[in-house]
A = this chain, B = another copy of it.
Amino acid sequence: ARPRVGYFYSGKKPGQDISETMNNMKVGDFQSIPVVVREDVSVYDAISQMFLDDVGTLFVVDKKSFLTGVLSRKDLLRTSLGNQDLSTIPVHIIMTRMPNVTFCFKNEPLIQAAHRLINQQIDALPVVIEQPEGLKVIGRLTKTNITRAFLSLSESHEL
């Protein structure tokens, strides 16, 4: 559609259009630092790592640091109900495994990634770079990041 440019009676203060502002927000502007663990660490150690780094999702990588899976608090909590010794179960047994991992890219619009978080009912997306051998994890995008983005919309447009 051709943009409508000109004088309009808005009855409101002049402000940037919401869609345009939102389309300019990219994943890379809001992403956090990823926390990764190796496939062979125990569920016990993964939970400890989660508390140490205060994150809700861990990304699992192989020896070459390529993404192989994702671990959420929900996955770890489910396992802890099982009355098993958490220090003997490796995370690759319980993780969500590639190719079932939903991810995103740094240059993607934030809206698109937010849709994926809602539609897939997940807490965090790994931000990745595609390489011939697999995916390298360079970031973490969570609903906390989206909440910050939501707040930034109101902050940058306050009277």
Contact = CB atoms under 8 A, between A and B. Distances in A.
Contacts of A48: 81
A148 B151 CA distance: 13
Q: Copy number of this protein in the oligomer?
A: 2
A65 B4 CA distance: 55
Could you tell me the dominant secondary structure of chain A's interface residues?
A: helix
Interface in A1-25: 1, 3-23
A157 B13 CA distance: 17
Given A77-B76, A118-B144, A16 B16 contact: no
A14 B14 CA distance: 9
Interface residues of A, number: 55
Contact of A10 (B8, B111, B118): B8
A117 B12 contact: no
Given A47-B77, A73-B77, A77-B77, A12 B3 contact: yes
Interface string A43-83: 01001101100001000000000000000011011101100
5 contacts: A1-B159, A5-B11, A8-B14, A81-B86, A147-B147
